[in-house]
Amino acid sequence: MSLIVFIVVLSILIIVHEWGHFITARKLGVRVEKFSVGFGKKIFSHMHDGTEFMICAIPLGGYVKMAGDEREECIGTKDEFYSHSVGHRAAIVLMGPVVNYVFAYLCFVLLFLAAFPGQSMTVQEIDEGGAAYEAGIQAGDKIVALDSRNVYSELQMDRMLAGGREGELNVDILRGSQRITKIIIPDIIERDDVLGEKKTFMDMGIGFYNEVAIGEVLKDSPAEKAGLRPDDKVIQVGEVKTLTWEDVHTNIANSQETSLLLKIERDGVVIEKELYPTERKIKTSEGEKQIRMIGIVRAGPDMEMYRFGLVDSVRYAWEELWGVTKLTLRAVYSVVVGARSAKDTVGGPIRIFGVVSDAAAMGASYLVLIMAIISASLAIFNLFPIPVLDGGHLFFLIIEKIRNAPLPMKLEEGLTKIGFSLLMCLMLFVLYNDIVQVGWIEKISEFVGQFRGSSAP
């Protein structure tokens, strides 16, 4: 079932993208010969209005074949791609990513109208002496608005609090059925943002879930071997008491001794556990660093569905889409400059399959949300100026416009071959990285080891 959902989601995104090229070409008078979902062997086709619509065996892409879309094939008839102006050709190329981006936006609008899955904004923890505590906010209060703007997730609230603006903040809360406005003066702090970069934020001194609770214990990890369980609360690492997950992570990562003593709270009882952390090299903004890990994942927040009217939905959809766009571009930039590891940042079809499967299991709203994010990311990636991608074709067209003539055929073919080779290398890296990340390499190695052992004399 997961595979079917994955293929359906991928096919929708491919159809949306190729439809952008297709409809623009048709509107501008370019004849479209083929519209294919997938590559490889043709398993279904249907002729309609001069176009062969096809479904092919490998559902990891698609294409639109237009008349005369290769320079050497173009004979100059008016319905051929290369017979049209640079502006027309650029519009046809551009509209694939644009329609993907518009589709992502419409998905976000639909979610906000129907059911946007966001984190519960019910306060679980309050820092004594913090801004919220001083203003009288209590555990159990629900944050519904900041400065009259609705709040529907902690990530969105972080965007609102980013930048460290000094001054008063009007916080609307729900206490039971009563809506109350509290005026607080947040502290200004510096902390890691979602990409791990140091940023300045306004801090209210509240938490929306237990900061030190374990959500998942990874299989065969030091934590599993020591008997740690989901919902355990890590209250001390070595000699250091932990109040936040950052305390837990930092003290485990920087520990020096071979073994590490953890104090955890389980069902109100404090238990000590001795663990033997593993080591791993990671890339940070300061360079490569070796850290220690025990294989635990922070507990996630409670989720709920948020619904808004049309005007708010249209606005919040744009805010979410722009947030995804900035996050994607920042992540790519971090990889390019070496601040983040590509293997920890880039995901391919196997990891996308995992994400889509998890989202489908959680419900339709989560699936539409993931589809919107992938569609926006696909639009952005396709606009990178790499030959073979839409952005590469646009780059050639811009040069043609400036020169008032296309690049020499051999030069363009050479650049396209280089772009194709780079893209193939990237795809192989991403695929290998996916296989490593999901643990298939280790499983294959274990199987081979067992096979050799069983076949030894």
Q: Which helix (H) or strand (E) holds 183?
A: strand 178-184
Provide mean pLDDT across the span 122-147.
90
Residue that is written with structure tokens 């003290």 in the block = 251
Q: How confident is residue 171, by pLDDT bands cut at 50, 70 and 90?
A: very high
pLDDT exceeds cutoff 90 at 246: no
Picking from 83, 70, 71, 91, the residue whose alpha carbon sits closest to that of residue 25 is: 91
Please tell me what DSSP assigns to residue 136: T
Q: Which helix (H) or strand (E) holds 290?
A: strand 287-293
Q: What is the pLDDT of residue 361?
A: 80
Please tell me what DSSP assigns to residue 266: E
Interatomic CA distance for residues 378 and 104, integer angstroms: 10
Q: Which two three-digit tokens encode residue 274?
A: 């001795």
CA distances to 25, 29, 77, 204, 413 from 84, in Å: 10, 9, 9, 58, 20
Provide mean pLDDT across the span 89-118.
95
CA distances to 197, 388, 405, 408, 409 from 72, in Å: 49, 17, 15, 12, 9
Provide mean pLDDT across the span 248-262.
89
Q: What is the pLDDT of residue 448?
A: 44
Fold for the domain defined by 125-207: Pdz3 Domain (2.30.42)
Q: Are 20 and 99 in contact (CB under 8 A)?
A: yes
pLDDT exceeds cutoff 90 at 399: yes
- CB count in 10 Å sphere of residue 26: 16
Q: What is the pLDDT of residue 308?
A: 94
Q: What is the pLDDT of residue 261?
A: 92
Helix (H, G, I), strand (E, B), or coil: what is residue 434? helix
State the pairing for strand pair 240-241/233-237.
antiparallel
Q: How confident is residue 256, by pLDDT bands cut at 50, 70 and 90?
A: confident
pLDDT exceeds cutoff 50 at 456: no
Q: DSSP secondary structure string, 187-198?
A: EEEEEE-TTS-E
Q: Do domains 125-207 and 214-298 have the same CATH topology?
A: yes
The CA dihedral of 251, 199, 306, 110, to the nearest 10 degrees, is -120
Residue that is written with structure tokens 């080591």 in the block = 279
Q: Which two three-digit tokens encode residue 403?
A: 């020169």
Q: Are 70 and 338 in contact (CB under 8 A)?
A: no
Q: What is the pLDDT of residue 347?
A: 67
Counting residues of the chain whose pLDDT is more than 70, the rounded percentage is: 89
Q: How confident is residue 451, by pLDDT bands cut at 50, 70 and 90?
A: very low
Q: Are 91 and 24 in contact (CB under 8 A)?
A: yes
Task: Parse the chain into domains and list their residue ranges.
Answer: 125-207, 214-298
Provide mean pLDDT across the span 212-241.
90
Q: How confident is residue 320, by pLDDT bands cut at 50, 70 and 90?
A: very high
Given CATH 2.30.42.10, say whether it is the number of domain 214-298: yes
Helix (H, G, I), strand (E, B), or coil: what is residue 271? strand
Q: Are 433 and 340 in contact (CB under 8 A)?
A: no
